[in-house]
Chains A and B, each alone.
Chain A
Amino acid sequence: MIAKLLKNREMLLVGAIAVLLALIALRFPAFVGPSNLARVYNDTSILIILGLGQMAVILTRCIDLSMAANLALCGMVAAMLNAAFPGLPIPLIILAAMALGGLLGIVNGALVWKLDIPPIVVTLGTLTIYRGLIFLLTDGKWINAHEMSDAFKALPRLDLAGFPVLSWLSLLMIAVMLLVMSRTPLGRAFYAVGGNPHAAIYTGIDVGRTRFFAYCLSGALAGLSGYLWVSRYAVAYVDIAAGFELDIIAACVIGGISIAGGIGSVAGAVLGALFLGVIKNALPVINISPFAQMAISGTVIIIAVAVNARAERRKGRVILKKAEAV
């Protein structure tokens, strides 16, 4: 029983987060208080939403490096919409951001599906293009807090039954993704395509189309995160969330989602994001310079991938063990 639990990646990660929290609590008990934990969760919400989208893409053996640029572009468009038409209802703006994000995802997906260009090349290209488009759109100008309507800025913070809307939204997305991954043909197809594309073809799954939908999903989630990011920090400019694409991938890798596709879970993606979130929020508390965060997350990624690789290797027969060890 315990051995089985130890082998379970998600439980291992829960354990790691618990140990981390316990270590922090030794000196700063307030950090693990319910209200602070809720705050840490809220702070990680955007990363969780993005991680869920990236998870779907990575499961199909692809990668989406353009998520952060997509987020920035959609966030900017949401802010511009709000600045130009302050009367526009916020849900409409969110829908617009998600639609635009989905559209950008469609561009990625179509290039991967219809032209068979390797995903890393496609999203490397669209990463620079999407971010460049923000500049073309704005001439490098910022949209500041005073140009946004109060309703626009207030929504993520709005208190609903004790939790901010931002937290609720990420919980909703987790629930939706749980349903999609376990209860729909599409969710199963994600695993099938990543696990063995050839076998997937023979079972009648269109590999390209499945990847296309994964990109649509990650794009739409990036669009949603774009609104959330801009309204939460109340500022939009070209470079928001620059480099965040790597944090998203890091969250997935830490969460045990195999970069080779086919292995991973919603819980893993969420826990991976939370692990990074706890570290990020704990650093200032335990008085480590925020500059150390980058090196720490790098180390964590390497450890996580080493641990995951060991877990993955155990599965299946290893033939020619000697040769592989060379």
Chain B
Amino acid sequence: MADAQLSPRNIPDRLETGGARLIKSWEALLIVVATVIFLGNSFASPYFLDPWNLSDATFNFTEKAMIAFAMALVIISGEIDLSVASIIALASTAMGYAVQLGVDTPALVAIGLSVGLACGAINGLLITGLGLPSIVVTIGTMSLFRGLSFIILGDQAFTGYPESFAWFGQGYVWWVFSFEFTLFVLLAIAYGVLLHKTNFGRAVYAIGNNQTAALFSGVRVARVKFTLFLLTGMMAGLASICLTSRLGSTRPSIALGWELEVVTMVVLGGVNILGGSGTIPGVVLAALIMGMVTFGFGLLNVPGIVMSIFIGLLLISVIALPILWRRARRRLAH
């Protein structure tokens, strides 16, 4: 990976005031982008502003965002987990297998979550226990986990989930607020508190900024990282429950390519891919932006792959533009 510190770090003479920092923050930029897309969508399609349509739109991002919260913590700590989509596949396959044996909903949920946890534990053990680079380990487990569901399922599919199981992906808590969206909001708050208000969150930042320094300050680096991979695995298990319940079937190719979308969401949310900085509100905004773009384009009958071009361009440009902007300003200042 490229190193961030080939150029000297500029330390300002005085700190900016809270207000100025807020306006210049990444989150402010994201809010502007989100507003523009929201307004653009409402003008482009008359159907966009319907509350039920908007509610449908949330399904585009809620499952990915659940994983993105945990992934944000992993990336802030300087690691990455590319196996999340494969964990979804394996957890979904396990639940599908259990259904064939006549297992009922509560046990299915437990199976989904524990498969996620187990996969996360395997990642965590390999990375913290053996000290292997997470990008390679999770590329490996990505093949391994999805490979296992291919071995179990081949070109078949599991269906026949119990009716009560459908609630997780299709049920509504109140009016237009789906279970998934409610879960998304609750998790956003939980992860926001975890990252920004607890010692654990400070430790995550500390590890991402300087792992050795964190170690010498008494942060249990290995334990924190292991916990993060465990959390990510569990979130993938949770997303698997929601997705499987929404689709009502399991194929080994379920959630194919999601790992890249989740990472895109996290990076778009202003999390530094090299670790050390990023916020949960940023990730929430990025999730909303990606969801709205996908949904708005969908209403305009734009095919999915064109949306992915847009997401790709968005990813590169939101990172490139501030760099170009800073450079232009520096040139003007001189």
Q: Do they bind each other?
A: yes
Q: Which residues of A contact B (CB under 8 A)?
A: 61-63, 65, 111-112, 115-122, 124-129, 131-133, 135-136, 140, 197-198, 201, 207, 211, 238, 243, 246, 249-250, 253, 259-260, 289, 291-302, 305-306, 309, 313, 323-324, 326
A128-B133 in contact (CB<8A): no
Known: A128-B308, A131-B308. A298 touches B142 (CB 8 A): yes
B144-A299 in contact (CB<8A): yes
Known: A298-B140, A302-B144. A124 touches B260 (CB 8 A): yes
B151-A289 in contact (CB<8A): yes
| 20 intermolecular pairs with C-beta atoms under 8 Å apart | A112-B2, A116-B323, A117-B316, A118-B1, A124-B264, A124-B315, A126-B312, A127-B260, A128-B260, A132-B308, A140-B305, A250-B143, A259-B135, A295-B143, A295-B144, A295-B148, A300-B140, A306-B126, A306-B132, A323-B216
Which residues on B sit within 8 Å (CB–CB) of A127?
Answer: 260, 312
Interface string of B1-28 (1 = CB under 8 A from A): 1110010000000000000000000000
A62-B150 in contact (CB<8A): no
B133-A302 in contact (CB<8A): no
CB distance from A234 to the nearest CB of B (A): 23
User: In the docked arrangement, what's the CA distance between A141 and B52, Å?
Assistant: 35
B309-A129 in contact (CB<8A): yes
A131-B319 in contact (CB<8A): no
B145 contacts A by Cβ under 8 Å:
yes
B323-A309 in contact (CB<8A): no
Which residues on A sit within 8 Å (CB–CB) of B274?
Answer: 118
Contact of B319 among A121, A197, A211 (CB under 8 A): A121
Which residues on B sit within 8 Å (CB–CB) of A116?
Answer: 2, 323
User: In the docked arrangement, what's the CA distance between A117 and B321, Å?
Assistant: 11
Interface string of B273-310 (1 = CB under 8 A from A): 11000000000000000000000000000010110110
Interface string of B255-272 (1 = CB under 8 A from A): 011001001100100000
**Residue of chain B at shortest CB distance from A247:** B143
CB distance from B212 to the nearest CB of A (A): 8
Which residues on A sit within 8 Å (CB–CB) of B145?
Answer: 298
B154 contacts A by Cβ under 8 Å:
yes
**Residue of chain A at shortest CB distance from B306:** A132
Which residues on A sit within 8 Å (CB–CB) of B260?
Answer: 65, 124, 127-128
B320 contacts A by Cβ under 8 Å:
yes
B193 contacts A by Cβ under 8 Å:
no
A305-B137 in contact (CB<8A): yes
Contact of A120 among B1, B137, B216 (CB under 8 A): B1
A115-B324 in contact (CB<8A): yes
Known: A117-B323, A250-B139. A197 touches B3 (CB 8 A): yes
B103 contacts A by Cβ under 8 Å:
no
B306-A135 in contact (CB<8A): yes
A135-B303 in contact (CB<8A): yes
B136-A136 in contact (CB<8A): no
B137-A302 in contact (CB<8A): yes
B94 contacts A by Cβ under 8 Å:
no
CB distance from A105 to the nearest CB of B (A): 15
B130 contacts A by Cβ under 8 Å:
yes
CB distance from B36 to the nearest CB of A (A): 20
Contact of B132 among A117, A250, A293, A309 (CB under 8 A): A309
User: In the docked arrangement, what's the CA distance between A115 and B308, Å?
Assistant: 22
B222 contacts A by Cβ under 8 Å:
yes
Which residues on A sit within 8 Å (CB–CB) of B153?
Answer: 291
Contact of B312 among A132, A211, A300, A326 (CB under 8 A): A132
CB distance from B261 to the nearest CB of A (A): 9
B150-A111 in contact (CB<8A): no
A117-B319 in contact (CB<8A): yes
Known: A62-B2, A259-B133, A259-B135. A125 touches B316 (CB 8 A): yes
Which residues on A sit within 8 Å (CB–CB) of B146?
Answer: 294, 298
**Residue of chain A at shortest CB distance from B260:** A124
CB distance from B189 to the nearest CB of A (A): 28
